[in-house]
Amino acid sequence: MAEVDESSKPMFAGLSDVSISTDIPVEGEINVPVGTSSQDDEYSTLDEPVKDTILRDLTAVGKKFVHVMYPKKSSALLRDWDLWGPLLLCVTLALMLQGGSVDSKEDEGPQFAEVFVIIWFGSVIITLNSKLLGGTISFFQSLCVLGYCIMPLTVAMIVCRLVLLGGSGKVSFIIRLLVVTASFSWSTFASTAFLADSQPTNRKALVVYPVFLFYFVIGWMILTFSQST
Amino acid sequence: MASNTDFLLQFTEFDEADRALEDSRDATTIRIEDTDTERHKPQKQRRSAPVMSFEEDPLANDDQTELLSGQKKSAPFWTFEYYQTFFDVETHQVKERILGSLLPWPGKNFVRLYIHNNPDLYGPFWICATLVFVIAICGNISDFLVYLGNPQYKYVPEFRKVTIAATAIYSYAWLVPLFLWGVLVWRNSKVINMVSYSFLEIVCVYGYCLAIYIPAVVLWIIPNEAVRWLSIAVALFLSGSVLVLTFWPAVRDDQPRVAIAIMVAIVVLHTLLAVGCKAYFFKTLEVEQTAPVGIQTNSSLSSLNRSTVLTR
């Protein structure tokens, strides 16, 4: 071992000139513990009260709802995507659209599973379509946008059910038609505002048309919803 | 043009040699004279049409098809980029293809003129999706209109019909091209044809030819049998002639019986799709006055027979 030390000493002597030099920024090393402590603060969300955790997610979801109501190009929907809002909207819509009881022999309206599958499967297909056409948006960002933009149609569903409580004559049909048309165009316009920028200009219509078809079909399901007695 | 006449002279020599060989063995005969004149005609038409210049010669086109398909689809099929090559279209190209499928022009081949070795899956997929939903929605609306005066009728949105329509339309748009491609490949091995299509090009043609049915289905809302049959007839004529004009060059060199059989099969299947959809999804006024509601949703061909028998 002694011989090894003696033979390696010259190497170490040479290295000692190179390794510890004044070029190494000492501030970086000083900063790292500070950085890790702030990261520790974020990771230690286990210690915060449950109310804070839930409220943080709820505010994020609520902020996104506001962005859909006033569709301006914002990065909140795209950058910090989440799928809570779409899930909430989809379940609400599917529960309200569920048609009639299971043991009835007639052809019923869409069941919960059918609406759920249409919304999620349709969103996945539209996202795949926009990615295949060369879009720069990511898969979950697109799902997030499409899901949040169902919100006007969910509001229209609630309004339609309230109108149907009043009666199901011609007047109520015209009111429902107007409400559904307005909300379907709002949905399409809102999602186009977020999605169209990710496509090259000569393919925008190719991406917008499936979104139009998707919301049109959902709007049709809402419009033809009839209360089973 | 001088090079083309040299071409002619060369091939007539070959043809004489071929005739000599014909007797000795059951060889595949390459009949060139027809295709020579045929090749000149589309050349002239293409010079007037604003297309890329290298598309002039179908024979060279086939070679280039091999080259281009090798260059374009070089990504392995399990990567995403491979499927992106099938969506390499722009808005105006899709519009042109749809318009080209609506307007048959004798001599203009839909595949050569519009698809240009760039078959896309966007058109076929979304046209079929639109057609499925339009059939379901318009069927619903027409039911509502048929029963408008009837106080006993309770409106139900028949959602099951969407799944049935989707199965029917998508299997037509994918299985029939698969079958047709198989038949063409089989005949190609027996008789060397000058024109051959890839599977995706056939899917493309069939997909775009279904586009004419969308306005026809919207017209079927009107509960007037004459209007419905007229719209079927017009749609069938337009899209059927595009199909026939596209596939005739591929089977023309074959035995006449086989060629006619393939053409007739294409037209018959196209007709069956249109008439079947109309019969299954759209009720007629006369049938409803004689039979209760429940039976109609189950029968397809039987209601077709009934509706054709009962006329005004």
List pLDDT tens digits, range A38-78.
Answer: 455 556 677 788 888 888 888 888 888 887 777 666 666 67
Contacts of A221 in chain B (CB under 8 A): 157, 159
Q: Does A221 touch chain B (CB under 8 A)?
A: yes
Question: Which among B84, B129, B157 has the least Cβ separation from residue A224?
Answer: B157
Looking at the complex, does the CB of residue B237 fall below 8 Å from at least one CB of chain A? Answer: no
Report for B108-112, B131-135, B307-311: range of highest mean pLDDT: B131-135
CA A17 to chain centre: 56
Asked if B157 and A110 come within 8 Å (Cβ–Cβ), the reply is: yes
**Which chain B residues touch A203 with a CB distance below 8 Å?**
89-91
Q: Is the pLDDT of residue B61 over 70?
A: no
B214's tokens: 């969308």
Q: Residue B295 corresponds to which amino acid?
A: I
CB-CB under 8 Å, B94 with A110: no
Residue in chain B nearest A221 by alpha carbon: B157
Are B91 and A204 an interchain contact pair (Cβ–Cβ within 8 Å)?
Answer: yes
CB-based contacts of B151: which residues, under 8 Å, 6+ apart? none
Q: Which residues contact B222 (CB under 8 A, 6 or more apart)?
A: B228
Say whether pLDDT at B130 is over 90.
yes
User: What does residue B191 show for φ and ψ, rounded to 5 degrees?
Assistant: -125, 125
The Cα of A149 is separated from the nearest Cα of chain B by a number of Å equal to: 21
Min Cα–Cα distance to chain A from B155, Å? 8
* Reduced DSSP (H G I as helix, E B as strand, rest coil) percent helix, strand, coil of chain A, to 5: 75, 0, 25
Identify which of A71, A93, A63, A66 has the alpha carbon closest to the alpha carbon of residue A156. Answer: A93
Tell me the mean pLDDT in the region A152-163.
90
**Looking at this protein, which amino acid is placed at residue B146?**
V
Say if the Cβ atoms of B159 and A114 lie within 8 Å.
Answer: yes
The answer to whether residues A150 and A91 touch, using CB atoms and an 8 Å cutoff, is no
**Nearest chain B Cα distance for residue A13, angstroms:** 54
Residue among A110, A202, A226 whose CB faces B159 most closely: A110
Read off φ and ψ for residue A82, nearest 5 degrees.
Answer: -150, 160
The amino acid occupying position A116 is F
Which of B43-57, B85-99, B116-130, B194-208 has the lowest average pLDDT? B43-57
The residue ranking higher by pLDDT, B35 or A12, is A12
CB contact under 8 A, B94 and A225: no
Q: DSSP string spanning B104-145?
A: --TT--HIIIIITT---SHHHHHHHHHHHHHHHHHHHHHHHH
Banded pLDDT at B224 (limits 50, 70, 90): confident
Most confident of A110-119, A121-130, A191-200, B252-261: A121-130
pLDDT digits (tens, 9 = 90+) for B237-280: 888 888 888 888 877 777 888 888 888 998 899 899 888 888 88
Is the pLDDT at B110 greater than 50, yes or no? yes
Q: Do A107 and B126 touch (CB under 8 A)?
A: no
Taking the domains of chain A in order of start, what are their residue ranges?
84-97+110-228
pLDDT tens-digit readout, A126-135:
999 888 888 7
B213 by Cβ neighbours in 10 Å (0-12 / 13-18 / 19+) ranks as: buried
Tell me whether A114 touches chain B (CB under 8 Å): yes
Indicate yes or no: CB of B122 within 8 angstroms of CB of A133.
Answer: yes
CA distance B50 to chain A (A): 20
- Residue B285: the pLDDT is 60
Whether residues B91 and A206 touch (CB distance < 8 A) is answered with yes
Chain B residues touching A114 at Cβ < 8 A: 159
| Position B257, amino acid | R
Q: Which among B180, B198, B194 has a CA at the least distance from the CA of B65?
A: B198
Extract the tokens encoding B54.
């290298």
Supply the pLDDT for residue B35: 43
Residue B87 touches chain A, beta carbons under 8 Å: yes
- CB of B75 within 8 Å of a chain A CB? The answer is no
Q: Is the dihedral of CA B98, B103, B104, B107 positive or negative?
A: negative
- pLDDT over 70 (residue B67): no
Task: Name the residue among A99, A203, A220 with its Cβ closest to that of B137.
Answer: A220
Instruction: Verify whether the Cβ–Cβ distance A107 to B80 is below 8 Å.
Output: no
- What b/e sequence results for B79-88 when a residue is b if at least 16 CB atoms lie within 10 Å of its CB, and e otherwise? eeeebebbbb
Give chain B positions within 8 Å (CB) of A121. Answer: none
Structure tokens at B300: 């397809």
What does the pLDDT read at residue B60? 44
